[in-house]
Structure 1
């Protein structure tokens, strides 16, 4: 039976979105729930929110049954938190489907694994694609559907196929006093007419440039949270900023107004065009909702 390898993140919301989508297509809900709950528990251990009776090596051995192909495998990585604790993360699992076996393989940077032709298919955050390869233009990039148009074919063979809908948004946030400095809604036009500091996370600088459009940044200076400082707190000090929001409750705690949702931070299915085969095309269809319009023809 043909096995199609698909690169996925080792942990976090994007991996959960992939597992949930695959479970919905194959009926492997129990397997997906097992992987997700294990990784959430291990995250809580790393953050000090849980305690464990056994050390990390015993837990790893209990999670991974290498003699049972249908069971998930996990591995150990150094976490970047203080002390660099070992953290258990996803390694791989093989799931039977109508299009052959699909093996999800954990990678630290799935998008880059596709760029180097290790995989034909993979999943990663749309944020990383913006940070890595999209062309910065005067006009703002607003939707996932516009990403492929801004990828230089000489730069990479990877394209976005579709999103998984696990959406949170990069959102404009501002203190009321800043809003009072000019008329109009808190949107891209507000930024275009604004002169001063905007607080952002440093890892999103190129993304913010893309989604605001370089034409809006002539009188803008980016500032960044201090080490260990919450992004919302730093934005409140600056007066204006961009950060990921779900409900906006934390932002409101800092007396921040929520403005335009600039861009969806969403898990996307990626394909390396040069590695495409009829089988990988059918596997890609497996991850797309019947009602979804893919960003490229499958």
Structure 2
């Protein structure tokens, strides 16, 4: 049976979205739940929110079944937190499907693994695609469906196939004082008329430029939250900015009001067109939701 290797994140919301979509297509809900619960537990241990008497090597050995590829395997990385604790992360598992065996392989940066032609298929955050390869234009980038049009074919063969719907949004946030400085809603037009400091996470500079459009940024200077300061607190100190929000409760706690949802932060299926085969195309279809509209051939 043909095995298709698919690059996936090693942990976090994007990996969970992939596992849940695959479980919905193959009935492997128990397997997905096992991997997700293990990684959530290990995250809690790493953060100090969960205690255990077992050392990390003992736990790693108990989680992994090396003799059976259809059982999950985990590995260990150094976390970037203070003290660089060791963190258990996803490594691989093989799942039989109607399109052949699918081997999910954990990578720190799946998108970059596709760019270097290690894989035909992979999953990563749409945010990273915006940060890495989309062209910056005067006009704002507003949806996942627009991403491929902004990728230079000379830069990479990788394209977005579809999103998985695990959506949170990059959202405009501002204090009432800043909002009251203009008539009208807190939206892209508001930013285009605004001049002054604008707070963002430093890793999202190109992303913010893409989703606001470079024309809207005239007269605006980016600021960043101080080390150890929450993004919402940094935006509150500046008066206006962009951050990922789910319910907005933390933003409200800092006296911020929510404005326009600028762009969905979503896990996306990626394909390297030059590595495509009939089998990888069938696997890509497996991951697409029945109601989803693929973004076109790449």
**TM bin (shorter chain):** over 0.9
**2 CA distance for matches of 1:209 and 1:297?**
27
**2 CA distance for matches of 1:118 and 1:65?**
25
**2 CA distance for matches of 1:98 and 1:216?**
48
For the pair 1:30 / 2:46, whether they are aligned, the reply is no
**2 CA distance for matches of 1:69 and 1:90?**
13
Aligned to 2:212: 212
Aligned to 2:141: 141
For the pair 1:87 / 2:84, whether they are aligned, the reply is no
**2 CA distance for matches of 1:289 and 1:297?**
16
Q: Deviations over 1:59-110 (max 9, x none)?
A: 0000001012211000000000000000000000000001100000000000
SS state at 1:84 partner: coil
SS state at 2:178 partner: helix
RMSD: 0.7
Q: TM-score if structure 2 supplies the norm length?
A: 0.99
Question: Once superposed, which parts of structure 1, at least 4 consecutive aligned residues long, lie more than 3 Å away?
Answer: none
Q: Deviations over 1:9-40 (max 9, x none)?
A: 00000000000000000000000000000000
Give 1:261 deviation, angstroms: 0.3
Can you give the 5+ residue segments of structure 2 that lack an aligned partner in the other structure?
A: none
**1 CA distance for matches of 2:85 and 2:296?**
41
Q: Deviations over 1:274-298 (max 9, x none)?
A: 0001100000000001111001249
Aligned to 1:12: 12
Equivalent runs, 1:51-66 vs 2, <5 Å: 51-66=51-66
Aligned to 1:106: 106
Q: Deviations over 1:214-234 (max 9, x none)?
A: 000010000000001000001
SS state at 2:128 partner: helix
SS state at 1:182 partner: coil
Aligned to 1:199: 199
For the pair 1:238 / 2:238, whether they are aligned, the reply is yes
SS state at 1:166 partner: coil
Equivalent runs, 1:1-298 vs 2, <5 Å: 1-297=1-297
SS state at 2:209 partner: helix
SS state at 1:24 partner: helix
**2 CA distance for matches of 1:126 and 1:274?**
20
SS state at 2:95 partner: strand
Q: TM-score if structure 1 supplies the norm length?
A: 0.99
Can you give the 5+ residue segments of structure 1 that lack an aligned partner in the other structure?
A: none
